[in-house]
Amino acid sequence: MNPTDRFVMNHASMAPPQFVTWLDDAATLQAAHIKISTLMDSWVPTSPQFRIHKENIANEWEKALALNLRTTKGLQMATSAAVDDVYINAAYLVIRAKKDKDEAWLHNNGFTLKEKTKRIYARPVSFLGHVLRVKNGPQIGEVTVSWDKDPGAGSYQLQICKGHPQGEESFEDYAQLTLVRTIIGNRERATWYYFRVRSVGNNEYGPWSEPVGIVIT
């Protein structure tokens, strides 16, 4: 699967300062990502390589500025090497998300997800709220959330509340998902979290499910 189908892959066209900032932010996010930081295959370039590329590009950029040049061969080579590793990283994340059937690989990793073209669904979404199933795991600090498929839905809006809900404003958007099962990581242990989901169809929303709470272990 091509990563350009899921992510905005415009790194080759970024100005050096912009690319350096992106590499630094992506390295920090991926180092803190519970899946990327622990389950990535060792051959995949990730946070350490991104930081090396960041330093190389920054150094070559300083040299180019000192020469009053927009670019140099050294800067082009440093940028090209970084773009190659970023592409490999992105491709791996897309493949791993599909293989594991887990969209968590695609979020909070530095990449910007492309907005999907909205499909037109002839069937209306269900007027009944989903029955949400929530359980701890598979890893420490993770929660598996699932619900039944709605034939009229093109996607599902999932929201999370840390602590007991005090009203609508307590919930925050987690993701717009196309699958009916997802694993949510980086949750604070020994803490209550509440989840709710609703169907999203052709310019309409289904009702929110009843919030389901769980203490993270």
pLDDT tens for each residue of 103-123: 999 999 999 998 765 555 568
Q: Which CATH architecture has domain 133-215?
A: Sandwich (2.60)
Is residue 85 very low, low, confident or very high in pLDDT (cuts 50, 70, 90)? very high
Going by their DSSP bridges, the two strands 172-177 and 181-184 should be labelled as: unpaired
* C-alpha 178 chain-centroid distance: 14
Within 33-149, strands assigned E span 133-136, 143-146
What pLDDT shows up at residue 202?
Answer: 80
Across the range 182-192, mean pLDDT stands at: 94
| Mean pLDDT for the chain overall | 93
Going by their DSSP bridges, the two strands 143-146 and 181-184 should be labelled as: antiparallel
Q: What Cα–Cα distance (Å) separates residue 80 from each residue in 12, 16, 87?
A: 7, 11, 11
For the chain, domain boundaries: 3-106, 133-215
What pLDDT shows up at residue 187?
Answer: 94
Peptide bond preceding 211 in cis form (omega within 30 of 0): no
Q: What Cα–Cα distance (Å) separates residue 49 from each residue in 23, 40, 161, 164?
A: 9, 13, 35, 41
